[in-house]
Amino acid sequence: MSNYNWCHNPDCHKIETQSRVRGSGDNKVLRTIKINTDRQWNKDTIWDYFCNNNCLFSFLNKFRQEVANIRPVNKPSETPIQVEKTKYESHRYKWTDSGTERVPYQATRTTISLKNS
Ligand SMILES: [Zn+2]
């Protein structure tokens, strides 16, 4: 027996796709997508609760205030870093009448690393 969830987008069953059609004859319905939570490719992720990106973002948009209230952010967070700039020889190509010409120049590489605390 497999474990499953129903897609949590409250409007999942209003999206017109063949995969949602259930029933027979004149008793057909569009049904919320059933998600098998035993599959391995994305086990223990948000995809245990939403059948696709559209349903995830519809849910987030509809319940944005409630989602934000789960963990309010009232001030920015900061991560101490070190910024190191190093010069290195690079080149660019310049168009000429006979094709391209390799032109050297000194480039700058910026490396950001986390400060050891
Ligand atoms: Zn869905």
pLDDT digits (tens, 9 = 90+) for 44-100: 999 999 999 999 999 999 999 999 999 999 999 999 999 999 999 999 999 999 999
Q: What is the pLDDT of residue 69?
A: 97
CA 69 – ligand 1 centroid, Å: 23
Q: In the predicted model, what is the mean pLDDT of the chain?
A: 95
Q: Please tell me the distance between residue 57's alpha carbon and the centre of ligand 1 in angstroms.
A: 10
Cβ atoms within 10 Å of 5's Cβ, excluding its own: 16
Q: What is the pLDDT of residue 40?
A: 84
Query: 3-state class of 80 per DSSP?
Result: coil
> Could you give phi then psi for residue 12, rounded to 5 degrees?
-55, -40
Which residues are near ligand 1, the ion (C-beta closer than 5 Å)?
7, 9, 12, 33, 51, 55
Q: What integer pLDDT is reported at residue 33 of this predicted model? A: 97
Q: What are phi and psi of 42, to 5 degrees?
A: -145, 40
CA of 32 to the centre of ligand 1 (A): 6
